[in-house]
Copies of this chain bind each other. A is one copy, B any other.
């Protein structure tokens, strides 16, 4: 995966271990993430990052502006049989730093995810968003996503 340098000095590149404090801080700085993350203990995130980077179907990236991590996003490539053997991509863990909200970074980031999915031969990009995140829903719909499904989760 190559780095992508965009307008305004914004760069999208694979996440590394050095990015973990900034990534986990963004995961925790969120109404839902606040109770689910442990920014004071990065050990489980280091283990998880290793699993992610060893999986060739994962693209965990950060957006960097002026040397500072301002966003993160994870793309999973999922080969499948349905839809005539279509491969789909799944977007998870989209977070934009509070200072960057409204800057257009979310759009640039999702456009990167869509372009990468297309370049990888995917026929479909999908994601789920908590029912309470209504602003995010409008954002995805503006990008052309259709709210055609119900997303179910079961905690183990």
Contact = CB atoms under 8 A, between A and B. Distances in A.
Contacts of A141: 152
A150 B124 contact: no
B155 A124 contact: yes
Interface residues of A, number: 65
Interface string A27-65: 100000100111000001101110110010110100000
Given A81-B23, A156-B114, A128 B128 contact: yes
Main secondary structure of the interface of A (DSSP, over half): mixed
Nearest to A122: B156
A118 interface: yes
A149 B146 contact: no
